[in-house]
Structure 1
Amino acid sequence: MPAAGEHVWRWFKELDRARAGTGFGINPIAWQEIDAWARCRKVDPSQWEIDALISLDSLRMELFYAAKGKDNADEPQVSERPLTSRLFDALFPKKRK
């Protein structure tokens, strides 16, 4: 990392730690999160710094999902466990009226 961009790397690491995710993976860092982070830190990132954060985020997402795909390459896409009525009821309970 060039010395001129070290602060952007630190900013990205802070934003990355606070990243939202789902059970299926990570979400991109939202514009609202960058704005909220900048206000809390009392910084006013320039356009190139914001572009750098977005680029780092895109690369982070790409690497995460590439690694996730490799980890799951040998796993079956469908459960090997048979779907019994008991399991179905556990997964989809009746809605109460």
Structure 2
Amino acid sequence: MNSLGFREIRAWRKERDLPKLLPWQMDAILAMDMKRRSVEAEKVNVAVDEPKAEVSKRPLTSRLFDALFASKVK
């Protein structure tokens, strides 16, 4: 996820026809963006660390496949 750049903020301000942003407003926008990126990074890290659910302890063999999906044609 990319951070907000000054160009994007300026384009957003012009699109909304807002006056020039004050320094504290820029600081607030950049702080919110940093928080957004840290929250998203935590979500990605949690998803990577979660163990995958085990579907079956038996490996899928050709015999097991045939037993599960028996052909109706004989």
Query: Does TM, normalized by the shorter one, top 0.5?
Result: yes
Q: Quick check: which one's strand share is greater?
A: 1
Match of residue 48 from structure 2: 72
For residues 23 and 50 of structure 2, the distance between their equivalents in structure 1, rounded to whole angstroms, comes to 42
**TM-score (normalised: structure 1):** 0.48
After the TM superposition, which residues 35-74 of structure 1 pair with which residues of structure 2 at under 5 Å, given as runs?
35-43=10-18, 44-74=20-50
Alpha-carbon displacement from aligned partner over 1:40-88 (angstroms, at most 9, x marks no partner): 111122110110000000010011001110011146xxxxxxxxxxxxx
For residues 25 and 16 of structure 2, the distance between their equivalents in structure 1, rounded to whole angstroms, comes to 15
Runs (4+) of structure 1 moved beyond 3 Å?
none
Match of residue 58 from structure 2: none
For residues 12 and 3 of structure 2, the distance between their equivalents in structure 1, rounded to whole angstroms, comes to 15
For residues 64 and 74 of structure 1, the distance between their equivalents in structure 2, rounded to whole angstroms, comes to 16
Gaps of 5+ in 1: 1-25, 76-97
Report which structure shows greater RCO (CA 8 Å, sep ≥6). 2
User: How many residue pairs end up in the alignment?
Assistant: 51
